[in-house]
Amino acid sequence: MHDVDFSVYPDEVVALVGGNGAGKSTLLEHLNATLVPDDGDLVVDGTPITEDNREVAREAVGFVFQDADTQLVAPTVLDDVTFGLQNHGVPVDEARERAREALATVDATHLEDRIPHYLSGGEKRLVGLAGVLVLEPSVVVLDEPLAGLDPERSQLVADRIQRVHADGISVVLSTHDLEFAAEVADRVCVMADGNVAGSGTPREVFYDDALLAAANLHPPSAVRVARDAGLATTTRPVTEAELVAVLTDTTGSEPVEQPVPDGFGRD
């Protein structure tokens, strides 16, 4: 990665999108100081992060791995979610109570006695999220949160991400699913060749053909349908719900945002 300028602000959901090897995971791994830059600055809540104070970033930024098995280590789900708190010196009874609350937040109470290794992919992702939330970070990072999940579990994880956001926690995630990015993100960052090629609202990014082409991305289906139906000149839906609203709108009223010129938001 080189010349990357990336910030996360309170109470926003940021989606990193881009082709294979574009640098999404590498950028995410800097946010909680799993990696620290060889050159340049990494600042968390005003504190410059170095090799010597990585824990400042670790406490502020929780990381939910794509491969949940790397995160789940204890014999039961409850033990696993309790583990991080006990490492912080929280007494076991209090840690268990807080772990149960975190599991309830992601609708995983019923899993508390299960063996983490035998959970399904979606269940593991939710338990991993609970294990991060219990530590009360101000930012949650999720690397490919929908990877390998069926539509129902994808929806479950997407719902929980929105609930986390509603609780005032910033969320940064990477995804190859642009429909999902359009649904959940306030801001989309397009990555290509180890850098942020451009960013903006989903509407700005997903109607920017040059930016998407530079990252080998295709627009979400709502954008393609709107264009094929000749709607994209006056309206710019990015989600299925917005497209349906445009198609069923009999008032002739204009959409929520005015069109933006191609290339808007590009660095």
Ligand X SMILES: Nc1ncnc2c1ncn2[C@@H]1O[C@H](COP(=O)(O)OP(=O)(O)OP(=O)(O)O)[C@@H](O)[C@H]1O
Binding site for ligand X (CB under 6 A): 18, 20-26
Extract the tokens encoding 262. Answer: 């191609």
Give the Cβ contact number of residue 260 at 10 Å. Answer: 16
| Cα–Cα distance measured from residue 29 to residue 130, given in angstroms and rounded to the nearest whole number | 19
* Residue with Cβ nearer ligand X (193 or 240): 193
CB of 105 to ligand X, least distance (A): 27
Extract the tokens encoding 220. Answer: 């979400």
CB of 24 to ligand X, least distance (A): 4
* Residue with Cβ nearer ligand X (82 or 174): 174
Nearest to 185 by CA among 17, 65, 51, 45: 17
Length of the chain: 267
* Residue with Cβ nearer ligand X (36 or 245): 36
CB of 219 to ligand X, least distance (A): 18
**Within 13 Å of residue 203, how many CA atoms lie on the same side as its CB?**
15
CB of 206 to ligand X, least distance (A): 18
* Residue with Cβ nearer ligand X (23 or 200): 23
Give the per-residue SS3 of 134-154.
CCCCCEEEEECCCCCCCHHHH
Check if the beta carbon of residue 50 is closer than 8 Å to that of residue 30. Answer: no
Neighbour-count burial of 24, counting CB atoms closer than 10 A to its CB (0-12 exposed, 13-18 middle, 19+ buried):
buried
* Residue with Cβ nearer ligand X (5 or 93): 5
* Residue with Cβ nearer ligand X (8 or 147): 147
| Cα–Cα distance measured from residue 5 to residue 13, given in angstroms and rounded to the nearest whole number | 17
CB of 136 to ligand X, least distance (A): 27
CB of 81 to ligand X, least distance (A): 26
